[in-house]
Amino acid sequence: MKVYVIGIGLIGGSLARDFKKHLDDVTIFGADLNEKNLDKALELGIIDEKAELKDVAQADCVIVSVPVDVSAVLLEQVLDTIKGDTLVFDVGSTKHAICEKVKNHVNRRNFLAAHPIAGTEFSGPEAALEGLFEGKTNIICEVEKTAFKLQERALELFKKIGMRIRYMDPVAHDKHIAYVSHLSHISSFMLGKTVIEKEQNERDIFDLAGSGFESTVRLAKSSPAMWTPIFKQNKQFVLESLKEYIDNLSNFKTLLESDCYQEVFEEMENTNRIKEILNGISIKK
């Protein structure tokens, strides 16, 4: 099977590594605007050969793994170029804009809209990890718009790399992911910003940073080139989630200002429920 990965970074590279590990007779071709990333992917054995966009005419499977604003444009070009039985899927962190973009394409039935809920704060082919998707969820949107044979082929591939499947409507996906992923990134970026600004005046502050700070601010290392288009495409739901978060922060501030320590205690105690919720999720997994 000839697999073409467009955007050979963290997610594209990790998929390439897992496909190589779990599939027999697979050749991975990499296409990327960034020539250094392509060379690195070749050197690390993530891809077998370099390719260009036009080469997807020979592909059995095309994975589009570039920033979400680029995916919306590239997908049309890929769908224009492929042969009749090629499976094309994306991995973008937003789904509505991408599904809208391709909805009237003559080859829409070759496309499957996917979002693997797996990743790290790092980018590029050096960040690609074997086994990244094992036991993780892959959200698939508008599955009924993909040709049945290609759905089957995609599900088989996802199963081989250990993914569980969840089906969702693209708008519901974008709404839910705004809370559990996009808001967490903004919160981490702004926490990092607040502490960096303070550190400029008080140089010792990072000597005091413990593992709590490090884990809370981990997502602030993420790539702005990847996240700006995500926030742009999911602006409405991100703004909704931000408003609710800011209301909660303001409320907490008011409670402290008013010396309402019983309410401060209760706010935190109620939120401790997150332990059971997250445990429940990992048990279900």
Binding site for ligand NAP (CB under 6 A): 6-12, 32-34, 37, 65-68, 70-71, 91-93, 115-116, 119, 123-124, 223, 225-226, 230
The nearest distance, CB 214 to ligand NAP, in angstroms, is: 18
Least distance in angstroms from the C-beta of 59 to ligand NAP = 15
Question: Is the separation of the CB atoms in 81 and 53 below 8 Å?
Answer: yes
User: For ligand NAP, which is the closer residue by CB, 2 or 173?
Assistant: 173
CB of 83 to ligand NAP, least distance (A): 21
For residue 62, give the 3-state DSSP assignment.
strand
Q: How far is residue 42 from each of residues 26, 37, 58, measured CA to CA in Å?
A: 15, 9, 20
For the bound state, the minimum distance from the C-beta of residue 281 to ligand NAP, rounded and expressed in Å, comes to 17
Where do runs of H (alpha helix) occur along 23-57? 35-43
- Comparing CB distances to ligand NAP, the nearer of 161 and 226 is 226
Find the angle CA(261)-CA(251)-CA(232) to the nearest 5 degrees. 145
Strands 137-141 and 27-31: unpaired
CB closer to ligand NAP, 32 vs 142: 32
Please say which residue, 153 or 185, places its beta carbon nearer to ligand NAP. 185
Q: What is the dihedral of CA 272, 276, 279, 281, to 10 degrees?
A: -110
